[in-house]
């Protein structure tokens, strides 16, 4: 499985968790969920996928490079919003917490869809196989650093399935 295919599995898992109402509603659960987003998923994008895309398209497609940078900046916005959500969840501001939590999930879903429509297809179609294989290995290392057990608990992917990647 390619790193971008793995990220799309993450997106599907996130989408199902949110749409089915199973995603972290309490502050400690949300904090763990967001830790997965920044500590694993977005880290793979920011440290592996996006730098490779920017380098590959640097001279050929400035607009695409700007798009990759713009979408990468969403991670900072989501992190800031999540920290605010956690702050409200730790206080007596339950209504604000719920509002900001819903906003976070809405922005996350929109962000993931943009990646799937505008970024990932170009990775899959235009990057050489050897680059993709190396990137997938880097992503595996990040997942292992994050913690395979935590990763599989969030995504629903079994450890056995992960080993096949």
pTM for this prediction:
0.93
Q: In the 8-state DSSP scheme, what is residue 48? A: I
* Residue-by-residue pLDDT tens, the chain, 165 positions: 899 999 999 999 999 888 877 666 788 888 989 999 999 999 999 999 999 999 999 988 999 999 999 999 999 999 999 999 999 888 888 889 889 999 999 999 999 999 999 999 999 999 999 999 999 999 999 999 999 999 999 898 888 988 887
d(Cα 47, Cα 159) in Å, to the nearest integer? 23
């Amino acid at each position: 499985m390619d790193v971008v295919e793995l990220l799309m599995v993450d997106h599907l898992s996130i989408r199902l968790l949110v749409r089915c109402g199973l995603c972290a509603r309490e502050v400690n659960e949300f904090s763990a969920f967001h830790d997965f987003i920044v500590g694993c998923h977005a880290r793979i994008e920011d440290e592996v996928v996006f730098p490779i895309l920017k380098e590959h398209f640097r001279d050929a497609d400035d607009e695409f490079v700007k798009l990759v940078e713009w979408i990468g900046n969403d991670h900072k916005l989501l992190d800031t919003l999540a920290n605010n959500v956690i702050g409200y969840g730790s206080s007596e501001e339950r209504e604000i917490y719920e509002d900001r939590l819903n906003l976070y999930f809405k922005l996350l879903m929109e962000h993931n869809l943009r990646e799937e429509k505008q970024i990932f297809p170009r990775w899959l179609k235009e990057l050489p196989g050897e680059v993709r294989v190396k990137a997938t290995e880097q992503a595996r290392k990040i997942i292992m650093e994050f913690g395979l057990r935590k990763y599989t608990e969030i995504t629903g992917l079994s450890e056995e399935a992960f080993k096949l990647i």
